[in-house]
Amino acid sequence: MDCSVTYKPVKCIEQIRKDCTGLKGGEARYFKINSCIGHVFPNNTATEICKESFLYPGCSYCLGKIVEQHGSFVCQICQKVQLFISKYRYRLRVKLGNCSKDKQLEDGPEVEAECASIPYQELRVTLFDDPADYLMGMSASQVVDCLQEKRGQKIVKDTFDNLLDSNWQVKVRVKSSLKEDTPVSMIVKEVLGSLDY
């Protein structure tokens, strides 16, 4: 995955923030970090989990979202018409924080000292399909099926709860928008594995 780019290993969230200051015009930077999931959106304390808050009906031809129009479904990106929803996709948002010291990447004593003096930092990132499948342990379509079952809400909430405070090595892409005054997007491109062993 992403063979054409190099992911810079970083030790803490603050390094990502510093390296991305001043990104503009669609520029992107890539990082590999050991991180801890501090929060999952939708809020896992909600009484009922709504699938629309972290899943969307996906286009069969591209990665776009399809919307219902006049009895069929049209992709918002490629504009192709589809007769039914064939697949759901993830748009799972989480907050990543720094890992505990014993699970951080080896990066030299200067960086370690710099990161130790920084208060707890978090990044809001989005996970689409493969990385979210990996974390959740099921596909987006399986989550939709699960939520239709009697115990589905509990199963999905338990999955979210299990993600909290779990440690993962991830590859993150930080990309600026082509539009001014639009925040950068932060996407987990790949989950390399769990650090909770």
In a domain, 96, yes or no: yes
CATH number at residue 17: 2.40.50.140
- Domain annotation covers residue 1: no
Phi and psi angles of residue 81, each rounded to the nearest 5 degrees, phi first: -90, 140
Range of the domain at 98: 8-194
CA-closest candidate to residue 1, choices 139, 190, 131, 180:
190
Q: Which of 90, 4, 103 is nearest to 53 (CA)?
A: 90
Residue 2 placed within a domain: no
pLDDT tens digits, 6-46? 888 888 888 888 888 888 888 899 999 999 999 898 765 55
Tokens read off for 21: 């200051």
- What residues in the chain have per-residue pLDDT under 50? 107-119
Supply φ then ψ for residue 165, to 5 degrees.
65, 15
In a domain, 3, yes or no: no
Residue 139 inside a domain? The answer is: yes
Q: What is the dihedral of CA 67, 151, 39, 166, to 10 degrees?
A: -120
- Classify residue 89 as exposed, middle or buried by CB count within 10 Å of its CB (0-12, 13-18, 19+): buried
CB 35 within 8 A of CB 96: yes
What is the count of structural domains for the chain?
1
Instruction: Tell whether 17 is covered by a domain.
Output: yes
The pTM of the full predicted model, rounded to 2 decimals, is 0.81
Burial label, 180 (beta-carbon count in 10 A; 0-12, 13-18, 19+): exposed
Residue 66 lies in a domain: yes
CA distance 190 to 35: 13
- In whole angstroms, give the CA distance from residue 92 to residue 65: 14
Contact 169, 9 (CB under 8 A): no
What pLDDT is recorded for position 44?
53
Within-domain flag for 94: yes
